């Protein structure tokens, strides 16, 4: 079912016009709007002149604030909520279906006007989401997906998890081809409880399996739990020889880099399937010997599109059922297209 849904997402992405999403944006420069700048909103975010969200109470849950990218999305959602005059506090789902279920039930009890939910798994909080739907509360799903979302959510604003793995896999294979490598050995860092992260590895492995000219040997997969320290310990314990590390999230990648640098290993290269911000982009800009490339997903652009969906709903406009934001691989050759450096 998950693979089928992923394939549907890929097809939908190809069929949906993404011209507005395909621009490379730099979100390190603050908005020229004084109110937006005071809230930390960057210039790349396209703000709307509207009061349709004024006074609205927004129930919001994100999959896991312990992940820095998710924390950045939560911050962006709260800043945009404040800009539009809405009441919003993004709660931490803590990668736990039961936690998110309780949060959604509390939102229903508190009579929120609209929900913005990032489900940890496609079905884990489905019963509570159905209760919200039956209560007439509009729902926007973001980042992940809800099995019944196509029918019952206003829209799903996300980044295609399967395609994330495909894009990363294609980049990695071309990286090896440029070096004349026909066989190599890798270690993977994943997050076992995250459906999002598992889908990335499905796309990655499908891409590797389709390559006839390069053989990828995965010697081990470690559950970093999206935690730097756990990833660092896992990589420090690897004794078998390997050349590359691929992590589903950047906390894992940064933990891997720390482990390698602790022993002075500059030969192993690290790739991240999801990163954004000064730290990863700074490492790429400075041509760090280990941190090699990452897939860029812009937290602010995702948050903007979530609010665009809410604004369209309250303005009586039709929303697309699925909105995929654009995905880009970033390395030292193009990092300045995504971030401004002093």
Burial 102-140 (b: 16+ CB within 10 A, else e): bbbeebbeeebbbbbbbbbbbebbbebbebbbeeebbbb
With 90 as the cut, is the pLDDT of residue 267 above it?
yes
30 pairs with which residues across the strands? Answer: 42
CA-CA-CA-CA torsion sign (126, 128, 133, 139): negative
Top pLDDT among 301 and 185 is at 185
Helix%, strand%, coil% for the chain, nearest 5: 40, 20, 40
**Residue 119 · residue 63 · CB < 8 Å:** yes
Percent above pLDDT 90 for the chain:
79
* CA 260 to each of CA 31, 34, 230, 256, 289: distance values in angstroms, whole numbers, following the listed order: 38, 43, 14, 6, 10
In degrees rounded to 5, what are phi and psi of residue 199? Answer: -65, -35
Tokens of 140: 């926007």
* CA 240 to each of CA 218, 220, 221, 229, 243: distance values in angstroms, whole numbers, following the listed order: 11, 9, 13, 20, 10
With 80 as the cut, is the pLDDT of residue 241 above it?
yes
What's the gap between Cα 264 and its chain centre? Answer: 30
In degrees rounded to 5, what are phi and psi of residue 188? Answer: -115, 140
Per-residue confidence band for 28, with pLDDT thresholds at 50, 70 and 90: low
With 70 as the cut, is the pLDDT of residue 113 above it?
yes
Residue indicated by tokens 């070096």 = 179
pLDDT the model gives residue 16: 36
3-class SS of residue 44: coil
Rounded to whole angstroms, the maximal C-alpha distance in the chain is 60
Residue-level length of the chain:
342
Reading across the β-sheet that carries 322-324, which strands appear in turn? Answer: 87-92, 57-62, 114-117, 139-143, 155-158, 322-324
pTM reported for the whole predicted model: 0.76
Pairing mode of beta strands 155-158, 322-324: parallel
pLDDT the model gives residue 263: 97
Q: Measured at the alpha carbon of residue 204, what is the angle toward residues 202 and 205, in degrees to the nearest 5?
A: 70
Query: Minimal CA–CA distance to 63: which of 88, 106, 96?
Result: 96
* CA–CA gap between residue 119 and residue 153 (Å, rounded): 13
Per-residue confidence band for 44, with pLDDT thresholds at 50, 70 and 90: confident
Pairing mode of beta strands 291-296, 328-330: antiparallel
pLDDT the model gives residue 62: 97
Percent above pLDDT 70 for the chain:
92
* CA–CA gap between residue 150 and residue 166 (Å, rounded): 23
**Residue 272 · residue 215 · CB < 8 Å:** no
């Amino acid at each position: 079912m998950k693979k089928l849904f992923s394939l549907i997402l890929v097809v939908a992405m190809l069929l949906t016009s993404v011209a507005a999403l395909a621009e490379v944006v730099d979100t390190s420069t603050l908005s020229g709007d004084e109110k937006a700048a005071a809230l930390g909103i960057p210039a790349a975010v396209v703000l709307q002149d509207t009061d349709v969200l004024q006074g609205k109470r927004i129930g919001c849950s994100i999959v896991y604030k312990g992940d820095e990218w998710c924390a950045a999305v939560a911050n962006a959602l709260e800043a945009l909520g404040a800009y539009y005059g809405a009441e919003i506090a993004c709660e931490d789902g803590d990668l736990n279906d039961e936690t998110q279920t309780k949060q959604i039930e509390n939102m229903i009890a508190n009579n929120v006007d609209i929900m913005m939910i990032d489900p940890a798994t496609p079905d884990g909080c489905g019963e509570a989401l159905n209760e919200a739907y039956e209560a007439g509360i509009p729902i926007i799903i973001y980042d992940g997906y809800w099995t019944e979302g196509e029918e019952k959510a206003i829209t799903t604003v996300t980044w295609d998890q399967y395609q994330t793995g495909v894009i990363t896999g294609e980049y990695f294979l071309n990286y090896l081809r440029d070096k004349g490598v026909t066989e190599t050995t890798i270690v993977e860092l994943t997050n076992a409880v995250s459906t999002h992260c598992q889908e990335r590895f499905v796309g990655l492995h499908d891409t590797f399996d389709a390559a006839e000219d390069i053989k990828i040997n995965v010697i081990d997969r470690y559950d970093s739990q999206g935690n730097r320290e756990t990833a660092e310990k896992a990589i420090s314990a690897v004794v078998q020889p390997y050349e590359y590390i691929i992590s589903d999230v950047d906390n894992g990648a940064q933990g891997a880099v720390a482990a390698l640098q602790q022993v002075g290993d500059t030969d192993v290269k690290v790739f991240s399937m999801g990163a954004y911000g000064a730290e990863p982009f700074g490492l790429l800009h400075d041509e760090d010997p280990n941190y090699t490339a990452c897939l860029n997903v812009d937290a602010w652009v995702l948050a903007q599109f979530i609010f665009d969906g809410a604004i369209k709903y309250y303005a009586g406009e039709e929303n697309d059922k699925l909105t995929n934001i654009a995905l880009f691989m970033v390395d030292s050759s193009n990092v300045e297209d995504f971030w401004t450096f002093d």
